[in-house]
Each structure stands twice: as C-alpha cells, then as structure tokens.
C-alpha cells in the first residue's frame, strides 16, 4: 500500500531535492507550488518536467491561482488577474468569469500544472473576516453559486482540475485558520441556504475536488473542525452527493497544527473522509504524516479499505488531469502577442 499516494506536499527551492524525488518515486500523490518555488516560466516548466519524469505513477502538480492576493504566478507574462470579487461585481459577470477561468487554465497547462485550488466558494457575509473578503465572488450565495459553477466548468474544459473551497464555508468566520481555529455559528437552516448553496452548484457542475475548511461548524459538529469531522464529510459525500476527491486544507496550518501532531491529524482527516492530504511547509512533516497513517493502520484505528478508497479517488483525478511533462510550445504562447491580446480582452475595464 503506497501511503505517499495520499499526500500532496509543498517543498522549498526552485529545484527538486533528493528527499522530494525519493517521495515521488515512492508514489507521492502530488506536489503544490508556492512563490518560493517560482522564478520564471522556463524554470517552472523545467521543475515540473523533472518532477513528473521521476514519477512512476501520474503525479498531480497543483497551485493556488485564484487571482487577486492569492496568486502564486505573478508578473510578466502571467495575467494580472484581480480578485474574484471584481468579476462578481462587473457587468456580464458570468461571461467574464468564464473568460478568466479559461485564460487561467491555458496559462497553467502551458507549464504543466494539473490542478488549481480554485474557485473560492465561501460567501463573504462577515465584514470582520480576515482571510476571505474579496477572494469571494460575492456576499450573495446565489451569485457565488452561479459564478463558482461557471469558473469550474471553464477551468476543467481547459484541462485543469478545479477545487472548490473551503467546505462547509469559511466566509462567516472572524478568525483566519492559518493562525487559529475558527467557529461557524450558523444554524443548520442558514448553513443550507447560504454556505452550502455554492458547493451544491459546483458539484452539479462536475467539480473534480472540494477542499475542507479547518473550521468548526456548530450546526454540523461542535467538537471537531470539518477536516477531521466524519459528520461534516458525510454531509459532503452523502448529503451533497459529491463523488470526487475531498482534499484537506494544509494540515500544517495553526488551526490544526497547534492542536494535533501531524501524524494524528493525518490519520484523523483520512478516517473522517478526506482523500488527499495537504502538507505544505516541509518534507519532514510530510514523512511524519505518512508514518502517522502507517501507525494508525497498525493500531487498527484506521481501516485499510478507507486508504484504498481514498487512493482510488485520487487515481481517478490523476488519470483525467495529470499530464506528462509539457513541451516548450506553451512557453512560446505565454510570450506571444496573442496571449497579451487575450489578457487585455479578458481584463478590459477591470484593471
């Protein structure tokens, strides 16, 4: 049983280390790129190519390329995409969202990126929220639902898997889960009407993945954050009929890391219903998380069938979206007049 298959991990540097290549050769599920891994389109293409050529099974390369303040690819030649709120408030919002999602997908595919952790499906209902804000399309759940589904359809039509986040909703909290554990105090009725509506729409649109929130929802499970809550994951899987990949948010965020050791957090997230686990800060933590799952299997607190089910779902996503190392034709397009003209057309009147 290849336990590394259950993980998408972050790493330091512009090139692959022996430690990273060893995990990839052992069957790692994916890698996620951050600004610390990016120097230029040529370097990104080369890095991803080296990672994918080292893999014995399809490796999914992912990134957070939402637009606005959460965009890892910045500067020329990348499109200077504003926050999704700008699109949500624009005339012809759905047309514009479809256009920008298609543009982002083509940019990502040009360098070999397979999965974008976007769109944000949180509804921005709390002005005191320090982490969502204009990352959300709107303060109106119906608008978020419509625009989120449009983004998903166009991103995936462009050959890049989309991931809706952060289930069951991070928009009405007043705490950033990077630094502490937020609590969502909605009633179940309001949760259904506000937070869940965009996720239902994205699922109907065929979204490949959904990311969990490190948020305690009083209406679902007052004791555990959604990432570690079987009740919350059951709602997503059975109540919303989601059959794709459930991805945990980064298990090294303080909402989780300050309360559970990484090995325990990993097996609890998997047991709750997550299929792919994010460990974004360092490779040693990823190895500790893998060891934690192995120990949980040995103790009998985690079932082998759950591990096989999670790996199978990830393999289905990888089969559909993970491509071999990309050639240089994408680089030529990124530096072309046609690309620049497309950016101007998509962003006309917005920036």
User: Looking at residue 2, what is its pLDDT?
Assistant: 86
E strands, the chain, are 7-9, 30-33, 60-63, 65-67, 70-71, 115-116, 161-167, 183-184, 209-212, 216-217, 245-247, 277-279
Domains of the chain, start order: 3-346 (3.20.20.300)
Distance CA 182, CA 215 (A): 5
Residue with tokens 């982490």: 131
Active site residues: 178, 249
CB 164 within 8 A of CB 202: yes
Q: What is the pLDDT of residue 73?
A: 98
- pLDDT for residue 172: 86
Please give the pLDDT value at position 266: 98
pLDDT of residue 127: 87
Handedness of CA 332, 336, 342, 347 (dihedral sign): positive
Q: Tell me, what's the pLDDT at 179? A: 85
The reported pLDDT for the residue numbered 343 is 97
Q: What is the pLDDT of residues 58-96, one digit of tens each?
A: 999 999 999 999 999 999 999 999 999 999 999 999 999
> What pLDDT is attached to residue 31?
98
DSSP state of 192: I
Buried b (16+ CB within 10 A) or exposed e, 108-119: bbbbbbbbbbbb
Per the listing, tokens 């290549």 go with: 21
Count each helix (H run) and each strand (E run) in the chain, helices first. 14, 12
Residues of the chain with pLDDT under 70: 1
Q: What is the pLDDT of residue 130?
A: 85
pTM confidence score: 0.97
Q: What is the pLDDT of residue 129?
A: 84
Q: List strand residue ranges (DSSP E) for 84-237, in order.
A: 115-116, 161-167, 183-184, 209-212, 216-217
């Amino acid at each position: 049983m290849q336990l590394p298959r259950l993980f998408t991990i972050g790493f330091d540097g512009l090139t692959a280390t022996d430690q990273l290549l060893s995990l990839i050769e052992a069957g790692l599920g994916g890698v996620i790129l951050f600004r610390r891994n990016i120097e230029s389109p040529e370097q990104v293409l080369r890095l991803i190519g080296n990672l994918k050529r080292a893999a014995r099974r399809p490796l999914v390369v992912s990134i957070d390329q939402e637009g606005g303040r959460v965009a890892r690819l910045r500067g020329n030649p990348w499109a200077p995409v504003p926050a999704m709120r700008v699109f949500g408030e624009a005339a012809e919002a759905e047309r514009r969202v479809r256009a920008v999602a298609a543009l982002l997908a083509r940019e990502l595919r040009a360098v070999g990126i397979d999965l974008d952790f976007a769109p944000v499906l949180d509804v921005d209902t709390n002005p005191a929220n320090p982490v969502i804000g204009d990352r959300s399309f709107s303060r109106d759940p119906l608008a978020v639902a419509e625009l989120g589904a449009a983004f998903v359809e166009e991103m995936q039509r462009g050959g890049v898997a989309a991931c809706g986040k952060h289930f069951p909703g991070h928009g009405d909290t007043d705490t950033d889960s990077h630094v502490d554990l937020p609590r969502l105090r909605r009633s179940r009725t309001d949760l259904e009407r506000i937070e869940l509506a965009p996720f239902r729409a994205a699922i109907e649109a065929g979204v490949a993945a959904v990311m969990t929130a490190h948020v305690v929802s009083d209406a679902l499970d007052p004791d555990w954050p959604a990432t570690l809550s079987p009740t919350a994951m059951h709602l997503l899987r059975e109540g919303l009929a989601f059959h794709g990949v459930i991805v945990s948010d980064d298990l090294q965020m303080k909402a989780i890391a300050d309360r559970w050791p990484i090995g325990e957090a990993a097996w609890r997230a998997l047991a709750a219903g997550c299929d792919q686990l994010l460990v974004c800060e360092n490779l040693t933590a990823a190895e500790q998380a893998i060891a934690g799952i192995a120990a949980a299997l040995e103790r009998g607190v985690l079932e082998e069938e759950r591990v096989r089910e999670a790996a199978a779902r990830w393999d289905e996503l990888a089969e559909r979206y993970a491509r071999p190392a990309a050639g240089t034709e994408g680089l030529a397009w990124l530096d072309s007049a046609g690309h620049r003209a497309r950016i101007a057309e998509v962003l006309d009147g917005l920036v």
